[in-house]
A and B are shown apart, each in its own frame.
Chain A
Amino acid sequence: MESTLLGQDFTREIAICWGVSALILGGLMLHAWQALREAKQGRD
């Protein structure tokens, strides 16, 4: 059976998956980096 997906453009879905992954993981990394920087400076 031929796939119904052929010939369609899924740029939006791909962008959503990659974008959300980057946002969530990037956000966690940024948060961790800021917390570490503040801890080094002796602030809560």
Chain B
Amino acid sequence: MEFISKLANPERFMRVSQWLLPIFAVLAFICLIGGGIWALGFSPADFRQGDTVKIMYVHVPAAWMSMATYAIMGVASFVGFVWRHTLADIAARQAAPMGFAFTLLALMTGSVWGQLTWGVWWDWDARMTSMLVLLFIYAGYMVIWQVIENETQAARLAAILCMVGVINLPIIKFSVDFWESLHQEASIIRADGPSMPASMYLPLLAMALGYTFLFSTYLLMRMRTVILMKRRGSKTKGRAPSIAKTVAGETV
């Protein structure tokens, strides 16, 4: 509890995020440029799919990050809901647009890839359907924050939706094991190691790392923006009253 309180201290957050932000941004740039060149220029074509497999390098990291972002939002929502830490609510709220974008990109790139490999743009199999549900949950979460005027009420309701929606994560992950699916079973995170050659999974991991650092950079920028705006007494809708009070108290 004490650790969470320290973590949620706005002053400490602003101080730590100030030097973390450029590090994450540089790492994201290096991983994405390096991973992109590696994936597009040097990774081999698949023996059946040919060069279409290069869609994997943007599709899979987007799908991973759509779930990881939601998991982070779930934890932040829980902390915000139980301990009323304003920074946790801010983190959950500010992560949502990026999570929505990752999910949308996973669905969109997956649809193009599916059309080329399976011959269909869409199929109501468990993996795709549960990813679509995740997109709707993200949308619903953001709508709650937009339409409910009372900030405290919005935070509580959004947190409840987010925590309930966490049940969708294992469904997405294990959907290919539980139900018949066009999707293949897990290829990277397996008990017996990756089922693809290093020349493919290493650039994939580089891209996934790039997406992770990109998300981290985005989240820190958004959280810093919200805190700065509240500190300056902005009238923009946000977690204004409570964070302004907290921040003033902490003399950030």
Q: Which residues of A contact B (CB under 8 A)?
A: 3, 5-11, 13-14, 16-18, 20-21, 24-25, 28-29, 32-33, 35-36, 39-40, 42, 44
A10 to chain B, nearest CB (A): 5
Q: Are A17 and B40 interface neighbours, CB within 8 A?
A: no
Residue total for B at the interface (Cβ-Cβ under 8 A): 37
Besides A5-B49, A16-B112, A25-B105, 5 new A-B residue pairs in contact (Cβ under 8 A), listed by A number = A10-B50, A14-B55, A21-B58, A39-B234, A44-B229
Q: Which residues of B contact A (CB under 8 A)?
A: 36, 40, 48-52, 54-55, 58-59, 62, 97-98, 101, 104-105, 108-109, 112-113, 116-117, 211, 214, 217-218, 221-222, 224-225, 228-229, 232, 234-236
Q: Across the interface, which residues of B come within 8 angstroms of A29, CB to CB?
A: 214, 217-218, 221
B58 to chain A, nearest CB (A): 4
A17→B211 CA distance, assembly (Å): 15
Q: Across the interface, which residues of B come within 8 angstroms of A28, CB to CB?
A: 97-98, 101, 218
> 8 A-B contacts, Cβ less than 8 Å apart?
A5-B117, A14-B51, A17-B58, A20-B108, A20-B109, A29-B217, A32-B222, A35-B221
Q: Across the interface, which residues of A come within 8 angstroms of B40, CB to CB?
A: 14, 18
Q: Is the interface of A mostly helix, strand, loop or mixed?
A: helix
Q: Are B225 and A21 interface neighbours, CB within 8 A?
A: no
Q: Are B116 and A10 interface neighbours, CB within 8 A?
A: yes
A18→B104 CA distance, assembly (Å): 13
